[in-house]
Amino acid sequence: MLHTVARSTSKYSAIFRTQLLNSFAYPADLFSRSVSMILFMWIFLQLWRVTYGAVGMDAIAGMTLRETMWYLMITEMVILSKPRLVNNIATAVKDGSIAYLLNKPYNFILYQASVSLGDSILRMAANALMGGAVLWLTVGAPPGPSSWLPTLVAILLAWFIDFCLSALIGLLAFITEDISAFMWIYQKMILVMGGVLIPLDFFPDWLKNIALGMPFAYTTYAPARIFISPNPGTIASLLALQTVWLLVLGGLLATLYRRAEKWLSINGG
C-alpha cells in the first residue's frame, strides 16, 4: 500500500516537474504575459483612489485603500495564473485526442492536475512579482509576514477548487458539444461572486452571504481576504470552508470522471 502511494507520488510529481521545465523553456514569454498585471493594478488603483476620495472615508467596510489594493492583487494574481484547463479538456474530448492521453498508466485527472499546477505556479510567481512591485511603489508595503503562510495554503486550496470546477465544466463536453456558455457563466460568477472586481465585504450583507454560500468565493476571495486580515478566526473558518468545498467538488469530479470514461467508449473514436 505504502509502496503504491510512494510510486504514485513520484509519478505525478515527475509530471509536475516536467511541466515546470517546460514553462522555463520560454522565460521571456512568461514575464511578458505577466506585464498585464501592471496594467490591471494601475487601473484598479485609479478607480479605487477616486472611490475612496468620493466616499471621504479612510476605510470602506473596515478596509483601507492599501488593504483593498493588496486584496485585489491576490485575486488578480490567482485568476491570471489559471491553466487553460476547460479548453484543453473540452478540445481533447471533442477532437478525440483524449484517446492519445489515455494510453499511459496514469489517472487522467491527476495527470491534468499535475500538468496544470506546473503551468500555473511559475505564472503565479511572475504575476505576484509584477503586481507586488506596482503596489509596493504606489500604496505601500503588503500586510505583515504573519499572514503569508496561511495565504499560501489558501491559494493552493483555491487553485485545486478551481481545478475541480474547471475540470467538471470541461467534462461537460462529453454531454453537450458546446461548453463555451458554461465557461462564460463560470468566469463571470468568479468575477462578481468570487470577489475579484469588488471585495465581497463591500457587498450588502445578504449578497455577501449568498456569495459565501457558493464555491466561487473560495477560489479567489478566501486567499485575498486571509492575506489582508491575519485574524486567526477568519483564517481558520475560510480554510475550513475551502477544505470542505474541495472535498465535495473533488468527490464529484472523481465520480463524474468515472462515468465519463464510459461515455467516452460510446462517443469517442
Partner 1 sequence: MHMILHGTLFTCLPPYLVYLPFPPYNTLMPAITVQNLVKTFTSKRKAAGFTGSLRALTRPEYQTVEAVRGISFEMENGELVGFIGPNGAGKSTTIKILTGILNPSGGAAQVLGYIPWTQRRQLAYHIGTVFGQRPQLWYHLPAIDTFQLFGKIYEQDDKAIQQRIKFLAEAFEIEHLLETPVRKLSLGQRMRCEVAASLLHKPKLLLLDEPSIGLDVVAKQRIRDTVKRMAETEGVGVLLTSHDAGDIEALCKRVIIINHGSIVYQDKVSALKRNYLTSKLVGVRYAEKVPDNFTLDGVEILKTGQYGVKLQFDTRQTPVEYVISRLAEAGNLVDVTISDPSLEEVIRAIYENAE
Say which residue the cell 514575464 belongs to.
31
Window contacting partner 1 (CB under 8 A); options: 18-26, 68-76, 116-124, 215-223: 18-26
Identify the residue among 28, 58, 137, 262 touching partner 1 (CB under 8 A).
Answer: 262
Among the listed residues 99, 185, 207, 248, the single contact to partner 1 using CB under 8 A = 99
The footprint of partner 1 on this chain (CB under 8 A) covers a number of residues equal to 25
Where are any strands of DSSP class E within the chain? 59-60, 63-64
Q: Which of residues 156-185 bind partner 1 (CB under 8 A)?
A: none
> What is d(CA 129, CA 67) in angstroms, rounded to the nearest whole number?
17
Residue 58 found at the interface with partner 1 (CB under 8 A): no
Q: Does 250 bind partner 1 (CB under 8 A)?
A: no
Contact present, 66 and 140 (Cβ < 8 Å): yes
How far apart CA 95 and CA 99 sit, in angstroms, is 9
Query: Are β-strands 63-64 and 59-60 bridged in parallel, bridged antiparallel, or unpaired?
Result: antiparallel
> CA angle 43-44-45, nearest 5°?
90
Q: Cβ 6 to partner 1, closest distance in Å?
A: 10
How near is the Cβ of 103 to partner 1 at its closest, in Å? 5
Cell (9 digits) for 170: 470541461
Binding site for partner 1 (CB under 8 A): 7, 10-11, 14-15, 18, 21-22, 25-26, 97, 99-100, 102-106, 262, 264-269
